[in-house]
Amino acid sequence: MASGFFALLDDIGVLMDDVAAMSKVATKKTAGILGDDLAVNAEKASGFVSSREIPVLWAITKGSFINKLIILPVAFLLSAFLPWAITIILLLGGIYLAFEGAEKIYEWIFPHAASETDIPPLEMTEEEIVAHEKEKIRAAIVTDFILSVEIVIIALSSVVEEPILNQVLVVSVVAIIATIGVYGIVAAIVRMDDLGFKMIKSSNEKKGFKHSVGAFLVAALPKIVKSLSVIGTIALILVAGGIFLHNVHFIEELLHSLPTILSEVITGIVVGILALGGFKLFKFLFFGKKKDDSTL
């Protein structure tokens, strides 16, 4: 009886070791999209009144957990009964990631003028502020849902050949790490300027160490958010390219002589250009004509 109990403990220990090792691999595979997730959420969680940044971020974090509670069971059911669907969803997600990356690059090269709806009014009532805040939270949660699907599917694809228990444990661990890690870092980023202002205010000398550090934190925040956007865009292209490179055989054969990272960049950019071009053509054919007709 005792030997059976210790054998069970040994089996659990081996399982936990396997889960830890597989979780490490799966987390590495999702690192690229986590960079974009971090950049997107840092941008969406900033721009609020200082006292509202953490409550807004907490609301988005709770929405992210709910998203994953919806996504995880569906992903595990697909893995159990329709494993081929994982690859299809992965490729569709790769198209979306490549499209998003290409769109960001396009907007950097050809920036569009901000519309009136993009610029919030300078003076808003309390009700309008609350409504604006809820709208931004809702938009952030929707974006998180799309990115969460990709994180879960990419993590699941790395263990799709493993027993279902291993899949559940590994992907759940990655999902929890992704949520806590991303939103924890975002919280630190969005509060960085407040910490800087407090250090400046509490410093006795205008040129002292404390004042200098505070001024650095205040000045660094917008640059960090902007750099995260650039890093996130590069990550989108690389992740999308990697998805197609490792799941579409003829692409792998075509670019096998090139370094992996270069193959991923080329593949991601090509898929992104095709996706963005197709979207703009669709938009022109079905919405451009209507716009032109309405002006006549």
Domain count, the chain: 1
200 located within any domain: no
Residue 222 resides in a domain: no
pLDDT for the residue 1: 47
Q: Is 263 inside any structural domain?
A: yes
Instruction: Give pLDDT, residue 108.
Output: 87
SS3 38: helix
In a domain? residue 83: yes
Residue 212 placed within a domain: no
What span, in angstroms and rounded, lies between the C-alpha atoms of 187 and 248?
38
**Domain contains 218:** no
Contact call for residues 242 and 265 (beta carbons, < 8 A): no
| Nearest CA-CA partner of 150 in 198, 89, 224 | 89
Does the residue 102 lie in any domain? Answer: yes
Amino acid at 154: I
How do the pLDDT tens digits run along the chain, 296 residues long?
A: 445 543 444 444 444 555 556 656 566 666 666 666 676 666 666 656 666 777 888 888 899 899 999 999 998 888 888 888 888 888 988 898 899 889 989 988 888 655 444 445 456 666 766 777 788 888 788 878 878 888 888 888 778 777 888 888 888 888 888 888 888 888 888 778 788 888 888 876 667 778 888 888 888 878 887 787 787 788 788 888 888 988 888 998 999 899 988 999 999 999 999 999 999 999 888 876 554 444 44
3-state secondary structure of 124: coil
pLDDT at residue number 266: 94
| Among candidate residues 296, 244, 295, the one with its CA nearest the CA of residue 269 | 244
- Tokens 């969460």 — which residue? 148
Which tokens in the block code for residue 89? 């969803």
Helix (H, G, I), strand (E, B) or coil at 110: coil
8 A C-beta contact, residue 232 and residue 247: no
**DSSP secondary structure code for residue 208 in this structure:** S
Cα separation, 294 vs 136, in Å, equals 30
Asked whether residue 112 is assigned to any structural domain, the reply reads yes
Question: What is the number of residues in the chain?
Answer: 296
DSSP-assigned states of every residue in 198-247: HHHHH-SSTTSHHHHHHHHHHHHHHHHHHHHHHHHHHHHHHHHHHHHHHH
Query: Angle, nearest 10°, between helix axes 126-157 and 164-190?
Result: 140
Ranges of beta strands (E only) in 74-165 are none
Q: Are 219 and 241 in contact (CB under 8 A)?
A: no
pLDDT at position 34, please? 67
Longest dimension (CA), the chain: 87
**Residue 164's domain spans which residues?**
18-192+230-291
